[in-house]
Amino acid sequence: MNPPDPRWYKDAVLYEIPVKSFYDSNGDGIGDLPGLVQKLDYLKDLGVDCLWLLPFYQSPLKDDGYDISDYYRIHPDLGTLEDFDRLIEEAHRRELRVIADLVLNHVSDQHPWFQEARADPASPRRPWFVWSDTDRKYAGTRIIFLDSERSNWTWDPVAKQYFWHRFYSHQPDLNYDHPPVREAMKEVIRFWLRRGLDGFRCDAVPYLFEAEGTSSENLPATHAYLKELRRMVDSEFPNRVLLAEANQWPSDVKAYFGEEDEFHMAFNFPLMPRIFIALAKESALPIRELVAQTLPIPASCAWGVFLRNHDELTLEMVTDEERDFMYHEYAKHPKMRLNLGIRRRLAPLVDDDRRVMELLHGLLLSLPGVPILYYGDELGMGDNIYLGDRAGVRTPMQWSPDRNAGFSRADPEQLYAPVIINPNFHFESRNVESLRRMPPSFLNWLIRQLRVRRRYSKVFGRGTIEFIDTPHPKVLIYRRSFEGTELLCLFNLARAPSAVELDLSGFRGYTPVEMVSEAPFPPIGELPYFLTLAERGFYWFRLDPPAASRPDDGPR
């Protein structure tokens, strides 16, 4: 690896991978770590910088590995510790970083900690969990998995008490009021960082502590403990990154950056649904408003910007009206809904509209923060709403038109989930091999766009953003600036072409250069600058200064 810049993550593009879904190296129908190693060259070629692996630990897999029964072991379906070490080595050799999920809030009820705790009230493990004789404590706390859970308390017949859980009732919450729990999780962190992991995506962090009379979310004690983890990571493992999964309102998520002493990164959860609202309403406003609310953040911190991930498209942090609108626009079939969200992949969500796919990625790759891609979305992969829970967006990666989409040599019925055969999204045409062979494919388009972004990663990752007003409510325009490089990004959210007149008087004499083709547009003069955009079209321009004032060392 190059000498590490401690802020490397700010210039990165992340790629999210469930190991079981990516590539099966041993023909058992389940993706594995050696399989992922075989596909690192693909990821390098795609143009991402850092992989985020979903939980690969020992687990009964009732929540796809977010129910951990041993933090120190790899699930045997996925490989061994040696395979993990090899993955890190091979990824680093290619200058790819790797972060992994860290589930702090809860464990599986199969974890020996819980088994010991429930078996004996006098066990030293008993206080590792949150017990109660009634199910009425912490009544102000919402239920997250609304479709399956009726309470955050479940009666345990062995313990003869209720235990507390924010997610499934097989996922008892750890009791962070108990110091040994806090220490135990630090040891888990040390174990994996010592093996060379570059950081963690920290799952469900708002819920670590609970308190009567509150929502039991974002509590001061939770922030204090997270800061403790950050201190430890910074002092013992420099140049690693901690990414917060805190699905909260803007001001509450921002708090997870602390004063540069908590998380380096946090997912921009509030922005994500607003992108889809803006698209359906053909209005720039929802994105503008949200970006304004989520900035500024401390200099060393970064938003994780994403369109889709392995969960349902969450609608917890929108108004009731916005949620109804989203369901109406994007989840017409009841099976598309789950809890407070929509369980669909990106391409099906936007009716596989190529222009919209490009527009959304144009936004994703240019908004302030670190873009996070979800495996398969680069192919416009389909989903399967008839699989349970969130399994429909976690089907096997599609590598080729061969059996099982080239994902596995197993019998098709042995796959952990069926491949996508819906004619509109069939793997026979929607796979890496076929799409790479077709120059105009979405995959090739995205690879080109990622290469352009890489040349300007500092501007996109570290630069300022300024919105440019236009009387046209359907066109979103912003300027990204960093150390003398000026980029202008325009997005036409309308279903019809749009013409805009821009006040670019501050850039008189500059030439807008379209960044993918390097095609120069007419220089900016005295009059307002006039541009037309195709329906759902977008442009990224670099504003080149007049020759006389051109800096000679810009990233051009």
Residues with a known catalytic role: 203, 245
Sheet holding 464-467, edge to edge: 464-467, 475-482, 485-492, 538-544, 511-514
Closer of 57 and 192 to ligand BGC (Cβ): 57
**With binding defined as CB under 6 A, does residue 203 bind ligand BGC?**
yes
Residue 137's closest CA among 213, 232, 238? 213
**With binding defined as CB under 6 A, does residue 287 bind ligand BGC?**
no
Closer of 204 and 244 to ligand BGC (Cβ): 204
Q: Where are the beta strands (DSSP E) in 114-210?
A: 131-132, 153-156, 161-164, 199-203
Minimum separation from the CB atom of position 16 to ligand BGC (A): 10
Minimum separation from the CB atom of position 460 to ligand BGC (A): 26
Task: Tell me if 141 sits within 8 A of 178, measured CB to CB.
Answer: no
Please name the residues in contact with 179: beta carbons below 8 A apart, sequence gap of 6 or more: none
**With binding defined as CB under 6 A, does residue 167 bind ligand BGC?**
yes
Minimum separation from the CB atom of position 125 to ligand BGC (A): 21
Binding residue count for ligand BGC, defined by CB under 6 A:
9
Task: Tell me if 4 sits within 8 A of 239, measured CB to CB.
Answer: yes
Cis peptide before 157 (omega within 30 of 0): no
Closer of 200 and 510 to ligand BGC (Cβ): 200
Minimum separation from the CB atom of position 245 to ligand BGC (A): 6
Closer of 203 and 486 to ligand BGC (Cβ): 203
Task: Tell me if 197 sits within 8 A of 100, measured CB to CB.
Answer: yes
Binding to ligand BGC (CB under 6 A): which residues in 301-340?
Answer: 310-311
**With binding defined as CB under 6 A, does residue 103 bind ligand BGC?**
yes
Residue with the two structure tokens 């993990």: 84
Binding to ligand BGC (CB under 6 A): which residues in 244-263?
Answer: 245
Closer of 53 and 477 to ligand BGC (Cβ): 53
Minimum separation from the CB atom of position 341 to ligand BGC (A): 11
**With binding defined as CB under 6 A, does residue 56 bind ligand BGC?**
no
**With binding defined as CB under 6 A, does residue 66 bind ligand BGC?**
yes
Closer of 65 and 396 to ligand BGC (Cβ): 65
Q: What letter represents residue 133's amino acid?
A: D
CA gap 364, 16 in Å, rounded: 15
- Alpha carbon dihedral 412, 17, 305, 276, in 10-degree steps, equals 10
Residue with the two structure tokens 């790899």: 74
Minimum separation from the CB atom of position 104 to ligand BGC (A): 10
Angle at 518 between CA 515 and CA 521, to 5 degrees: 90
CA gap 171, 352 in Å, rounded: 36
Among 11, 63, 109, 383, binds ligand BGC (CB under 6 A): 63
Closer of 343 and 479 to ligand BGC (Cβ): 343
Q: What is the DSSP string of 209-230?
A: ---TTS-SSS-HHHHHHHHHHH
User: Measured in whole angstroms, how far is the alpha carbon of residue 57 from the centre of its chain?
Assistant: 20
Minimum separation from the CB atom of position 101 to ligand BGC (A): 8
Give the three-class secondary structure for 91: helix
Closer of 338 and 356 to ligand BGC (Cβ): 338
CA gap 12, 192 in Å, rounded: 21
**With binding defined as CB under 6 A, does residue 435 bind ligand BGC?**
no
What tokens does 427 get?
A: 């793997």
Minimum separation from the CB atom of position 285 to ligand BGC (A): 29
Among 102, 204, 359, 364, binds ligand BGC (CB under 6 A): 204
Closer of 312 and 486 to ligand BGC (Cβ): 312
Residue 24's closest CA among 552, 419, 516? 419
What tokens does 213 get?
A: 């009379």
CA gap 307, 294 in Å, rounded: 17
For ligand BGC, which residue has the nearest CB? 66
Surface-to-core class of residue 525, CB atoms within 10 Å of its CB (0-12 exposed, 13-18 middle, 19+ buried):
exposed
Contact mark string toward ligand BGC, 340..379, x via CB under 6 A: ----------------------------------------
CA gap 450, 82 in Å, rounded: 32
CA gap 112, 545 in Å, rounded: 65
Minimum separation from the CB atom of position 390 to ligand BGC (A): 7
Residue numbers at the binding site for ligand BGC (CB under 6 A): 63, 66, 103, 167, 203-204, 245, 310-311
